[in-house]
């Protein structure tokens, strides 16, 4: 699988360009894009048709999927600034691992990370402490972990009363499904 990135994007002009390992520049029309908010350098999945000078982009979709809620919006305050910084730092350390597993406990949702299929135990752990709301699959192949943005917090506000002290985390799986945990605290710990 080739790695593609957004080289240029203009929502106003309805045009963009991608670059990949074997192509310096391939232009595409916005009608071929799944979203209208690409950022320069963003990883994307690309479907092509044709060959040589007749190569055309059939579809461009972001590697990191976008969230949209279909069942109304609640009112949710933004995450407290200091908590937001703490959560972003913990989540940044938690991304990029090959092996990820999730364990539900009474006092925490524990997300373990490793590079060797947990042969010697986890290399790091992200704990979502004192979970208040959990919306997870019993089997999840985690691809991304993010701090929930405004649209996600609004969605969660339709499920629970959300305060600025509630840390909302989204886990995105291999088939681009979104799962949520709202917790009172967060902690990332390397174990090795």
141, 160 contact by CB (below 8 A): no
51's CB contacts (< 8 A; 6+ apart) are none
Q: What is the CA radius of gyration of the chain?
A: 19
| DSSP label of 175 | T
- For residues 7 and 3, the model is more confident at 7
Q: Rounded to the nearest 5 degrees, what angle is found at the Cα of 111, between the Cα atoms of 109 and 112? A: 145
Domains recognised in the chain with CATH numbers? 4-62 (2.40.50.140), 81-190 (no CATH)
pLDDT digits (tens, 9 = 90+) for 47-81: 999 887 778 999 999 998 888 776 666 789 999 99
Q: Encoding tokens for residue 24?
A: 């310096």
Q: What are the tens digits of pLDDT across the range 83-133?
A: 999 999 999 999 989 999 999 988 999 999 999 999 999 999 999 999 999
The pTM for the full model equals 0.78
Token pair, residue 7, equals: 């080289």
- Rounded to 5 degrees, φ, ψ at 71 are -115, 55
In this prediction, residue 39 carries a pLDDT of 94
């Amino acid at each position: 699988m080739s790695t593609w990135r957004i080289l240029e994007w203009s929502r106003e002009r309805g045009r963009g360009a991608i670059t990949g390992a074997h192509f310096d520049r391939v232009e595409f029309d916005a009608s071929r894009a799944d979203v209208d908010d690409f950022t320069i350098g963003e990883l994307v999945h690309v479907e092509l048709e044709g060959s040589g000078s007749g190569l055309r982009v059939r579809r461009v979709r972001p590697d990191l999927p976008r969230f949209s809620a279909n069942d109304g919006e609640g009112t949710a305050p933004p995450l407290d600034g200091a908590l937001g910084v703490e959560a972003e730092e913990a989540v940044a350390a938690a991304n990029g691992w090959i092996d990820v597993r999730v364990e539900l406990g009474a006092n925490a949702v524990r997300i373990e990370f490793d590079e060797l299929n947990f042969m010697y135990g986890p290399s790091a752990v992200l704990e979502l402490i004192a979970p208040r709301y959990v919306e997870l699959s019993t089997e999840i192949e985690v691809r991304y972990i993010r701090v929930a943005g405004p649209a996600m917090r609004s969605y969660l506000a339709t499920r629970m009363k959300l305060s600025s002290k509630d840390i909302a985390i989204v886990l995105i799986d291999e088939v681009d499904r979104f799962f949520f945990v709202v917790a009172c605290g967060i902690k990332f710990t390397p174990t090795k």
